[in-house]
Amino acid sequence: MNHYTLNIHGTLLDLSTPQVMGILNVTPDSFYAQSRMQTDDAIRQRCRRIVDEGASIIDVGGYSSRPDAEHISAEEEMERLRRALRIVREECPEAIVSVDTFRADVAEQCVGDYGVGIINDISGGMMDERMFATVARLRVPYVLMHMQGTPQTMQHNPRYDCLVEEVFTYFAERIDRLHDMGANDIILDPGFGFGKTLEHNYELMACLEEFIRTFDLPLLVGVSRKSMVYRLLGCTPDEALSGTTALHAAALMKGAHILRVHDVKAAADTMRVVQAIRDAAASNNKSVL
């Protein structure tokens, strides 16, 4: 695995060991009901559990990005985030905090007022043209995700002439723009479930290592309990943990650096198992040499 680090306000996060990003949703309508935290106590308990179970990053979201989600104002999104970020900072000051937003003004407030260390943008800068310049100026790592359409339209018959080529072109253009603006660290997210059919999602998973070889950037994978799991298995999001774990193992074996998850302990355990396989393989190679 290539050696990458992220500069989080002057402290380096080493990605030579994959990291777990635990999801903290403060939305009333996220697709997985058990991830919705609506009270102060629920937020406090959730962020503490994320850290205690082995995540180094807490990803806080105030805008639901599920298909056909309700569009809310920046003011409402920021109101939800303020409440959550205050609690997270009080309860888990040791955690790296990421905010899941596509709005530059929201990103700026979160970094400036609450010390947020990573901006996770589902739109790849498409839904706010100021986002790239903002994250470059703030000098924070930026998760660049691929999405076709918007959360309100992305699953309305998504189509590609050549999926992998189009996703690569999308990333190449945006990486160049971010570098030209002086962006600090870029993390790629293929955007599983965002403007993709079931078949599209598995096609991307099958060639995951090509993202790292092509762009030489760290890779974030977010597949936790998504439709690519529960539709394939004919179950519900509540029943999709085993399929999610299988995908996490596959993603790690293909080189993923960060897993964005609902179930932190299961993901952390999966990482330990995959790492044991890697260590054994490395030891065997040394013995042969």
- Residues 6+ away with beta carbon under 8 Å from 244: 223, 224, 225, 226, 229, 261, 262, 263, 266
| CATH number, domain 15-282 | 3.20.20.20
Please report which helix (H) or strand (E) contains residue 166, including its range. Answer: helix 163-181
Say how many C-beta atoms besides its own lie within 10 A of residue 9's C-beta: 11
Mean residue pLDDT of the chain comes to 92
Q: Which two tokens stand for residue 35?
A: 């991830």
Which carries the bigger pLDDT value, residue 148 or residue 146?
146
Which of 80, 196, 225, 260 is the catalytic position? 260
What angle do helix axes 198-206 and 241-253 make, rounded to 10 degrees? Answer: 30
Which of 139, 226, 231, 286 is the catalytic position? 226
pLDDT for 158 equals 84
Q: Is the pLDDT of residue 22 over 80?
A: yes
Question: Where are the domains positioned within the chain?
Answer: 15-282
pLDDT for 289 equals 46
| Residue 226: active-site member | yes
Q: How far apart are CA 112 and CA 138, in angstroms?
A: 9
The one-letter code for the residue type at 53 is E
Q: Is the pLDDT of residue 40 over 60?
A: yes
Q: Is the pLDDT of residue 276 over 50?
A: yes
- Identify the band that residue 131 occupies on the pLDDT scale cut at 50, 70 and 90: very high
pLDDT tens-digit profile of 86-121? 999 999 999 999 999 999 999 999 999 999 999 999
Q: Is the pLDDT of residue 145 over 90?
A: yes
Q: How far apart are CA 241 and CA 229, in angstroms?
A: 9
